[in-house]
């Protein structure tokens, strides 16, 4: 989707022959598919842009691949490699996206912000492939560039770092990274609307780690179970409010990226299902009890927990 494609193209500063120069030679060029017509690269590029705008990503991928394969030395071919990475990410083909992004990065190596923006896309592909450690390395490199003033969009790198830390279950560092993300300027993001959505989703995902630690795996007394139930309920109510905020955001915002929204839905589902399960199956009491004593204990406990459990509905 066009609004979600990061606008890197204007930043590319690679020197290639002019379109006029290319037109002189392209008429003599031959490929396995036949001769290259003058202006064919521009035609394919414009067609791909239209297909992306119409959300025809499968067709756009084929058009861009045709451009890269038929006219690899054209200036549009380098742009197409990067755009193919973005398109494949949107299509859910992270491994294929990474191949195109690595190719584009190699062609741009040492050429400043354009290569760094491709680094950002590579980190997103790593996260899709559940390679959090690789994504974290890229994010830290980009944050160093942001802190030294080489790039202005440090918030995007910080968001990637937070996501990577979540995937690695480094929860103490997640909290620190979330705070750092909030401190960075949202308007400096390459896509401020999408960055704002990611911040809300990451907040919900972090809440999931806090809410789902209840009840403790340790043996608990009845008083401890009731205490933890109250804290669990408060956490879930806060998470529900955050989930509703994201739903409202998705309805009113111009961005409709599937990835953060689907992650938010999955996170809320885990939170609510875990809560309902803990309500239906509270921890067993310490010590040995007869079946009758255990039945009585659970009945009394369920009654005590009823007010908490009734406050949160399922997904």
List, in sequence order, every residue forming a beta bridge with 35; answer none if it has no partner.
30
3-state helix, strand, coil in the chain (%, to 5): 75, 0, 25
The reported pLDDT for the residue numbered 53 is: 93
Residues near 161 by beta carbon (within 8 Å), at least 6 away in sequence: 136, 139, 140, 143, 177
For the chain, give the number of residues: 315
Instruction: Report yes or no: 216 and 229 within 8 Å, Cβ to Cβ.
Output: no
DSSP label at 148?
T
The reported pLDDT for the residue numbered 2 is: 40
Q: Summarize pLDDT for 238-259 with one digit per residue, the tens.
A: 999 999 999 987 776 655 578 8
The reported pLDDT for the residue numbered 312 is: 80
Please classify residue 219 by burial: count the beta carbons closer than 10 Å to its beta carbon, then call 0-12 exposed, 13-18 middle and 19+ buried: exposed
The reported pLDDT for the residue numbered 255 is: 55
What is the per-residue DSSP string for 252-264?
A: HSS---HHHHHHH
Residues near 32 by beta carbon (within 8 Å), at least 6 away in sequence: none
The reported pLDDT for the residue numbered 242 is: 97
Query: What stretches in the chain show pLDDT beneath 50?
Result: 1-32, 314-315
> How many Cα atoms sit within 13 Å of 291 on the Cβ side?
0
The reported pLDDT for the residue numbered 34 is: 60
Instruction: Report yes or no: 119 and 139 within 8 Å, Cβ to Cβ.
Output: no
Q: Which of 247, 153, 245 is nearest to 191 (CA)?
A: 153
Q: What are phi and psi of 191, to 5 degrees?
A: -145, 85
Residues near 227 by beta carbon (within 8 Å), at least 6 away in sequence: none
């Amino acid at each position: 989707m066009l609004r979600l494609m990061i606008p890197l193209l204007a930043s590319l500063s690679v020197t290639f022959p002019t379109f006029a120069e290319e037109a002189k030679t392209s008429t003599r060029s031959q490929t396995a598919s036949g001769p290259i017509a003058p202006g064919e690269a521009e035609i394919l590029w414009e067609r791909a842009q239209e297909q992306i705008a119409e959300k025809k990503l499968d067709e756009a991928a084929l058009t861009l691949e045709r451009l890269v394969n038929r006219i690899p030395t054209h200036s549009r071919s380098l742009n197409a490699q990067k755009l193919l990475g973005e398109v494949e990410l949107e299509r859910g083909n992270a491994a294929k996206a990474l191949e195109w992004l690595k190719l584009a990065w190699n062609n741009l190596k040492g050429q400043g912000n354009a290569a760094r923006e491709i680094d950002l896309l590579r980190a997103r592909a790593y996260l899709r492939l559940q390679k959090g450690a690789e994504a974290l390395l890229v994010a830290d490199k980009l944050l160093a560039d942001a802190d030294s003033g080489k790039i202005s969009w440090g918030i995007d790198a910080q968001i990637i770092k937070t996501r990577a830390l979540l995937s690695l279950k480094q929860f103490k560092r997640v909290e620190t990274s979330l705070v750092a993300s909030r401190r960075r300027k949202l308007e400096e993001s390459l896509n401020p609307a999408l960055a704002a959505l990611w911040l809300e989703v990451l907040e919900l995902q972090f809440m999931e780690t806090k809410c789902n630690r209840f009840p403790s795996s340790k043996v608990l007394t009845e008083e401890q179970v009731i205490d933890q139930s109250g804290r669990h309920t408060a956490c879930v109510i806060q998470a529900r409010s955050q989930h509703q905020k994201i739903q409202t955001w998705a309805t009113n915002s111009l961005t409709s990226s599937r990835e953060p929204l689907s992650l938010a839905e999955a996170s809320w589902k885990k939170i609510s299902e875990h809560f309902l399960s803990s309500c239906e199956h509270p921890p067993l009491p310490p010590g040995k009890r007869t079946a009758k004593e255990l039945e009585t204990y659970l009945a009394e406990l369920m009654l005590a927990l009823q007010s908490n459990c009734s406050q949160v509905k399922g997904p």
